[in-house]
Amino acid sequence: MLDGKEKETFRSELMELGFDAARFTDLSPVASKRLEDWIEQGYHADMDWLRKSIEKRLDPSLVLDGACSVIMLGVNYFPGESGAAKQERWGKYSLYEDYHDTVLKGLKSVGRLLEERFSLEPTDYRYYVDTGPVMERGWAAASGMGWQGKNGMLISKTHGNWLLLATVLTRAPIEPDPPVMKRLQSEPSRAELGALCGKCRACIDICPTSAIVEPGIINANRCISYQTIENKGVIPREMREGIGSRIFGCDICLDVCPWNRFATSGKQLLLSSRYGICELSLLDILTMEIETFREVFRRTPIKRLKLRGLLRNACIVAGNLRFYEEWGDFGDSEWMERVKTALVALARYPEAMVRPHAVWALYRLFGSAAEMALKTCRSVEEDESTLDEYRWWNRAKGTSSAETSRMLR
């Protein structure tokens, strides 16, 4: 068993590889019921891969036979004092090259370190950053890296909400670190969500789509992060207004957390910043061609959304301009005319998934005047979801005047 001074030396070696936090735990019983309940409630939306890997997620020895330790590693991605720290439009993690790739480089070095230090073979450990069948926040809480807040995030006393997590399962026995709260040590399977939140409920109250259904429990169907990143199809109409000005991901419930006041930026050795993304204007995005998309979002997590996903999200942001002006000036008629032209072009975009969102945005921004602009598009439309969008606005027109003005505002 690695413990005492040797364990601390090992921790320092891990930190030298670029990680901002390194903690250890063993494979004590886990809070399994929570994941099962969450999936049973349908809170996983269409992320069926979570349900399919449920056994492995609950029992790491099914991922690595004979595993006895979990090494939890954290990478602080807080962008410091830069403008990227203050913007709300892009999930902060997306303003870096894809961490799945950059942190993986650090994990490969951890593998080599494990082999040297414990005389292990590559088959004696497995590592993941986000993509593996492991409950990274649960293990991070068990290791004492932090605790899970009412916003569901693993919150660290020193890094706030800004740690990306990576996991190494290994057959090397390492003495577990204590959790943040003693109570969690004696009853790890009952780890308390929101353990150090006290009476605060800022994240629950601020979530614009009421996605935090209980402290620490997120209904992904209602979460902007899910809708703008993971949903690969049409975003439900009732979710669109709540998305506001956020084009990819959502940090609202993270930004508001008072524990962030202790956070500083990290080493950034396993990250490569792309803060320039914040400079893109809404029109840049609404009129973006595939070559520019590939160039601008090369190696970033946004690349996986594909151009059609980004255009879909941009249409929603445009449809919300009246209420959220971070992306432009609703009162500037010349600029709005350019937005209109871009949206009309997207209402006949070759990939059908984009079109209902463009129609939605045009009606929201220009009310009945959108009808004229969309006349030709509508006459040739064959996609059912887009036709449904036209029908919906038509019905809205036919309702009582108070209701119509609400829907066509």
Contact footprint for ligand SF4 (CB under 6 A): 149-151, 194, 197, 200-203, 207, 209, 211-212, 218, 223-225, 250, 252-253, 256-259
Exposure string over 163-172, b if 16+ CB within 10 A, otherwise e: bbbbbbbbbb
Which residue lies nearest ligand B12, judged by its C-beta? 138
Q: Which does 91 bind (CB under 5 to 8 A by kind): ligand SF4, ligand B12, none?
A: ligand B12
Q: Smaller CB distance to ligand SF4: residue 209 or 386?
A: 209
Grouping H, G, I as helix, E, B as strand and the rest as coil, residue 46 is coil
* Site for ligand B12 contains 30 (CB under 6 A): yes
Measured from the CB of residue 374, what is the shortest distance to ligand SF4 in angstroms?
A: 30
* Site for ligand B12 contains 91 (CB under 6 A): yes
Facing residues of 156 across strands?
A: 160
In terms of Cβ atoms closer than 10 Å to its own Cβ (0-12, 13-18, 19+), residue 361 is buried
Instruction: Give the rounded distance of the alpha carbon of 56 from its chain centre.
Output: 22
* Site for ligand B12 contains 76 (CB under 6 A): no
* Site for ligand B12 contains 67 (CB under 6 A): no
Give the Cα separation of 57 and 136 in Å (integer): 9
If phi > 0 it is left, if psi is from -120 to 50 it is alpha, else beta; for residue 4 that is left
- How far lies 295's CA from each of 100, 248, 302, in Å? 19, 18, 12
- From the list 14, 21, 22, 35, which residue makes contact with ligand B12 (rule: CB under 6 A)? 35
* Site for ligand B12 contains 235 (CB under 6 A): no
Q: Which does 163 bind (CB under 5 to 8 A by kind): ligand SF4, ligand B12, none?
A: ligand B12
Among 130, 177, 251, 255, the one annotated catalytic:
130
**For this structure, is 130 an active site residue?**
yes
- How far lies 385's CA from each of 269, 352, 388, in Å? 45, 8, 5
Is the Cβ–Cβ distance between 169 and 125 less than 8 Å?
yes
Q: Smaller CB distance to ligand SF4: residue 7 or 157?
A: 157
* Site for ligand B12 contains 151 (CB under 6 A): yes
Is the Cβ–Cβ distance between 138 and 28 less than 8 Å?
no
Name the segment binding ligand B12 (CB under 6 A); options: 29-37, 116-124, 360-368, 397-405: 29-37
If phi > 0 it is left, if psi is from -120 to 50 it is alpha, else beta; for residue 66 that is left
* Site for ligand B12 contains 251 (CB under 6 A): yes
Which residue lies nearest ligand SF4, judged by its C-beta? 149
Q: Smaller CB distance to ligand B12: residue 202 or 217?
A: 217
Is the Cβ–Cβ distance between 24 and 70 less than 8 Å?
yes
Q: Smaller CB distance to ligand SF4: residue 94 or 225?
A: 225
Q: Give the x-and-dash track for 195-234 against ligand B12 (CB under 6 A).
A: ---------------------xxx-x--x-xx---x----
Q: Smaller CB distance to ligand B12: residue 188 or 328?
A: 188
Is the Cβ–Cβ distance between 169 and 134 less than 8 Å?
yes
Q: Give the x-and-dash track for 131-150 against ligand B12 (CB under 6 A).
A: ---xxxxxx-xx-----x--
Measured from the CB of residue 307, what is the shortest distance to ligand SF4 in angstroms?
A: 24
Q: Which does 38 bind (CB under 5 to 8 A by kind): ligand B12, ligand SF4, none?
A: ligand B12
Q: Which residues contact 226 (CB under 8 A, 6 or more apart)?
A: 45, 47, 220
At which residue do the structure tokens 């962030």 appear?
260
- How far lies 29's CA from each of 149, 294, 298, in Å? 20, 45, 41
The residues that are catalytic are 130
Which residues lie near ligand B12 (CB under 6 A)?
30-31, 34-35, 38, 47, 91, 93, 129-130, 134-139, 141-142, 148, 151-154, 163-165, 188, 191, 193, 216-218, 220, 223, 225-226, 230, 249-251, 253-254
